[in-house]
Structure 1
Amino acid sequence: MRTSFEIDRRAQGEEIPPRDALRVGAMRRIARAFLSFHGLSSLASPVSLIVSELVTNAIQHSGGTEVTVTMQRQDDLLYAGVTSNVPGNVALREAGEDAESGRGLLLMTATVDGLDGTWGISDDRRTVWCLLPTQGKAR
């Protein structure tokens, strides 16, 4: 499954337009449908969270105008990746106790680790991906 959508180019710190914000929920629903179709409904909650965080980050921080979500099942593995049309500077950061944002990648990392998966950033720095086992712990 691969789906792309356009987003408005915006400056860092500028509010996300409502049309772009609605894409996050749409991508969660598409991810859940993909998982259901492939008999992986037990992964719906964690994968929805992962997709949600990665799509939000791409919209909020990439500075690009297009985002692509890719999901693929191969044997006992699930690949999920979110790509921006411009390279990013993806980095884990520490958020202050009172911060209202800044924990997305930490949350995604904890979720992937909890599923015995792995994640990374493509060499061109445009895609953040994760690879999750479809059998085993918590499934």
Structure 2
Amino acid sequence: MSPVTAVAPAAAKALPQTWRAFDVAFASDPVCIGLARRITRAFLGLWNVNDELAESIVLAVSELVTNALAHGSGDVGFRLRYPDGELRIEVTDDNPTPAELRFAGDDDVSGRGLFLVAVLSRKWGVSEDGKTTWCIFRIPEGRA
């Protein structure tokens, strides 16, 4: 007799919907930008987010983590939450000066990160204490 007990499908109970989420803390090092992208891509794959939307989400993660490194101080906190239909990205550093959307000139080599986040995401913002920049992506039903 097998030590595994079989349960008939009719008797099986549906598991409650659980949040899909993760939190990561990085030392202030440019290497963490690529690491944040890889971690995000892996989780989005596990959560079956379609490739096109996943690329936009990964780009937003890259821009927010890059901003935290360039303008923040201390370690970088990175959180992704996907409870139900919306995916929320939060990146935190120790700098209380809030991130600001600005428009870069044609010859500027940087300054487009938050503009990209604003265009790609459904909504973005900064926490009251100025230390966390966040954005939200809507995941269409049946696409994840």
Measured against the shorter chain, the TM-score band is: 0.7 to 0.9
Do 2:75 and 2:94's aligned partners in 1 also have CA atoms closer than 8 Å? yes
Structure 1 Cα separation of the partners of residues 91 and 139 of structure 2: 19
Do 2:117 and 2:135's aligned partners in 1 also have CA atoms closer than 8 Å? no
Counterpart mapping for 1:50-65 below 5 A: 50-62=60-72, 64-65=73-74
1:29 to 32, 38, 41: 38
| Percent of pairs with identical residues | 38
Task: Find out whether 1:108 has 2:117 as its counterpart.
Answer: yes
The RMSD of aligned alpha carbons is 1.6
Deviation at 1:108, TM superposition (A): 1.2
Instruction: Return the letter of the residue paired with 1:46.
Output: S
Do 2:71 and 2:95's aligned partners in 1 also have CA atoms closer than 8 Å? no
Decide which structure has greater helix share: 1
Task: Find out whether 1:69 has 2:78 as its counterpart.
Answer: yes
| Structure 1 runs not aligned, ≥5 long | 8-19
Structure 1 Cα separation of the partners of residues 96 and 45 of structure 2: 32
Instruction: Return the letter of the residue paired with 1:127.
Output: T
Compute the TM-score of the two structures, normalised by the length of structure 1: 0.81
Q: 1:93 maps to what in 2?
A: 102
Do 2:76 and 2:91's aligned partners in 1 also have CA atoms closer than 8 Å? yes
Q: Which has the larger radius of gyration?
A: 2
Partner of 2:30: helix, strand, or coil? helix
Instruction: Return the letter of the residue paired with 2:23.
Output: R
Instruction: Return the letter of the residue paired with 1:6.
Output: A
Deviation at 1:134, TM superposition (A): 1.0
Deviation at 1:41, TM superposition (A): 3.7
| Structure 2 runs not aligned, ≥5 long | 1-21
**Equivalent residue pairs, number:** 121
Q: 1:39 maps to what in 2?
A: 48
1:134 to 125, 133, 139: 139
Instruction: Return the letter of the residue paired with 1:71.
Output: L
Compute the TM-score of the two structures, normalised by the length of structure 2: 0.78
